[in-house]
Amino acid sequence: MNRLYLKPYLKLKTILRKYTKYLNRQFAFYCKLHLNYHRLMKTFFSLILFTFLLSCSGNSNDDRNCRFLLDIGVNRQIDLNLFPFTELLFPGNSVYVPNEGNAGIIISTTTGKDFYAWDAADPNHQQSSCSVLAPEGLFATCGCEDANKYELVNGTAVGQNDLRCALRNYRVQQTGNTLLIFN
């Protein structure tokens, strides 16, 4: 009689023991999986970070051959109603402003409404009396014997592919008939 009552209990006990072993195996598998997942994520993010750091390169604007110009602060207001700046109201003109930047500033316009400002020193020469650019419409030429010529719209050299340095540009902000040129 005693055995009869114990049979369901023993059967339940056996089932619980098997299920507990099963749960222990599942828990151990989950723990291993969880640890492997974290290890995998650490490796993945480390690889991404390493790739990102290796892909960073130096500043391409900091060419070692383009160190003839000094980093001089410029902050100049220009009134377009005053002579000689009235020429900037007409497309394709440029004006030289002395005593700013390295050798002055050249301001140019293509439409009379968009303005570009460039340092008037030739970036491919050491500073001298001949390295000051003279504006001619939308182009500027240095006075040295090689006569480097630059566009005043994008600052690149014209016709001479061996010149490594482009003109140094300044920001231009227009408010009505006043231009603020700064860096």
Please answer whether residues 68 and 62 qualify as being in contact, where contact means their C-beta atoms are separated by less than 8 angstroms.
no
Question: What pLDDT digit, counting tens, does each position of 21-64 carry?
Answer: 777 777 777 766 666 666 777 888 888 888 877 776 555 555 56
Query: Residue 5: pLDDT above 80?
Result: no
Query: Residue 1: pLDDT above 60?
Result: no
CATH of domain 75-182: 2.102.10.10
pTM to 2 decimals?
Answer: 0.64
Query: Residue 104: pLDDT above 80?
Result: yes
Query: Residue 15: pLDDT above 70?
Result: yes
Please answer whether residues 128 and 116 qualify as being in contact, where contact means their C-beta atoms are separated by less than 8 angstroms.
no
Q: What is the DSSP letter of 113?
A: S
Question: What pLDDT, on a 0 to 100 scale, did the predictor assign at position 158?
Answer: 87
Please enumerate, as own/partner, the contacts of 66-71 that have beta carbons within 8 Å and a separation of 24 or more.
66/123, 66/124, 66/164, 66/165, 68/121, 68/122, 68/123, 68/124, 68/125, 68/126, 68/127, 68/131, 68/165, 69/102, 69/119, 69/121, 69/123, 69/127, 69/168, 70/102
Question: What pLDDT digit, counting tens, does each position of 120-164 carry?
Answer: 998 888 888 888 999 998 999 988 888 889 999 888 888 866 788
Question: What pLDDT, on a 0 to 100 scale, did the predictor assign at position 112?
Answer: 80
